[in-house]
């Protein structure tokens, strides 16, 4: 009986480790309702590294876009910490690649964001510790991979 418990315990631990490993892999079909064919050829993702405990804020401007619904769903997917677990720009690059996009270019936004205007108090603390008055936003341009272009 003791051997059976040991075998069951080891098997359950092995199963837990295997399932956790698979859970960290991005499966576009399971994690999102975004279909690459419905998204625009180019997407600009804005990231701002202002999280006190790590991570970046990610946004996609969809205002007045003909792809507003699809871009909003993609934006929600990128912001959802439980699905893609984007904590830095490397994670963002890898997630967009798995979603069917290639990185094209990046540039700093000319706007410096004053942290005191944000609702997040952690931004203000982070900027004060760094000695800055605000943070820069980085715009990253992505283009659909050749096989997904119309």
Closest CA to 34 of 60, 12, 13: 60
The per-residue pLDDT for range 38-86, each reduced to its tens digit, is 899 999 999 887 655 666 888 899 999 999 999 999 998 888 877 777 8
CA distances from 121 to 50, 51, 133 (A): 11, 10, 14
The per-residue pLDDT for range 89-117, each reduced to its tens digit, is 899 999 999 999 999 999 987 655 555 44
CA 32/CA 150 separation, integer angstroms? 21
- Strand boundaries in 1-150, DSSP class E: 42-48, 57-59, 101-114, 134-144
CA 19/CA 92 separation, integer angstroms? 23
Global pTM exceeds 0.75: no
Contact 75, 65 (CB under 8 A): no
Distance of CA 59 to the CA centre of its chain: 9
């Amino acid at each position: 009986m003791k051997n059976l418990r040991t075998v069951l315990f080891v098997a359950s631990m092995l199963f837990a480790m295997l399932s956790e490993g698979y859970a960290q892999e991005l499966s576009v079909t399971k994690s999102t309702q975004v279909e690459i064919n419905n998204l625009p050829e180019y997407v600009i993702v804005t990231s701002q590294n202002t999280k006190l405990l790590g991570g970046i804020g990610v946004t996609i401007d969809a205002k007045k876009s003909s792809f507003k619904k699809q871009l909003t769903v993609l934006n929600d997917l990128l912001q959802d910490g439980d699905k893609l677990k984007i904590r830095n720009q490397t994670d963002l690059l890898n997630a967009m690649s798995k979603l069917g996009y290639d990185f094209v270019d990046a540039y700093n936004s000319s706007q410096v964001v004053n942290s005191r205007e944000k609702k997040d108090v952690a931004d203000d603390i982070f900027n004060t510790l760094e000695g800055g008055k605000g943070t820069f936003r980085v715009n990253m341009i992505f283009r659909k991979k050749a096989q997904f272009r119309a």
